[in-house]
Amino acid sequence: MRNLIALQRIKSQTVRPQPSLETVIDAIQQVTLSPPLSVDELRELLIAEIYTSVSATPTPEAMCNELLEFPHIYVFVDWYSGKESQFSDTQRQALDTLVLARQTIDNGCRCRREQRERVAHGYFTTFWVNNATTDLLPAIAKIGNVNQVIITQVASWPTPMQPS
């Protein structure tokens, strides 16, 4: 309960106030009436927030009936490596192109790494836009033992997203 209150305070402090005078006065009163967070509370909240936003693969206890989300190519390739054998040959051929795209980021001189990274992320997005209706997402859901798979802002299964 204490963590929830502290997290709400952190979130409320990051919201931009409306330009009206009443809103500013209310915000000032909220901040002055709430006790400050201790360093330990703040550290725990930040670690929990960072951990949940970075973790793409759910823990084994939470895997059933949960969501599996891949925000970018790095997370997907990390999840996919070690699970390649569970996919069919055709699926593996397609998904291995994402692994190759990820590997190209680190190849070559450092001066062009940013460009290679943009190309790899662009390929990741294009790949999932083109393959959103294939059997890849249902296969990922089955192998990941989840009910829903989301390729952030690109595709999802079972409910297809509209590409942005």
65 or 58: whose pLDDT is higher? 65
| Greater model confidence, 159 or 50 | 50
Q: What backbone phi and psi angles, to 5 degrees, belong to 96? A: -65, -25
Residue 12 scores a pLDDT above 70: no
Q: For residue range 79-88, what is the model confidence (pLDDT) as tens digits? A: 999 899 999 9
Q: How far apart are CA 142 and CA 48, in angstroms?
A: 28
Give the confidence band of 97 by pLDDT, cuts at 50, 70, 90.
very high
Which helix (H) or strand (E) is 151 found in, with range? strand 148-151
3-state secondary structure of 33: helix
Which pair of structure tokens corresponds to residue 39? 């360093």
- Residues with Cβ within 8 Å of 42's Cβ and at least 6 positions away in sequence, in order, are 6, 10
pLDDT digits (tens, 9 = 90+) for 98-145: 999 999 988 888 888 889 888 888 899 889 888 888 899 999 999 988
pLDDT at 155: 61
2 contacts 45 by C-beta, under 8 angstroms: no
Per-residue pLDDT, averaged over 6-27, amounts to 64
What residue ranges do the domains of the chain occupy? 2-54, 60-157
Residues of the chain above pLDDT 70, percent = 60
Q: What is the pTM of this model?
A: 0.55
Distances (CA, A) of 24 to 9, 14, 32, 34, 54: 16, 14, 12, 16, 33
Which residues 6+ apart lie within 8 Å of 155 measured at CB?
A: 128, 129, 131, 132, 137, 161, 163
Alpha helices by DSSP H, the chain: 2-14, 21-33, 39-54, 73-80, 89-106, 113-130, 136-144
Q: What is the pLDDT of residue 147?
A: 87
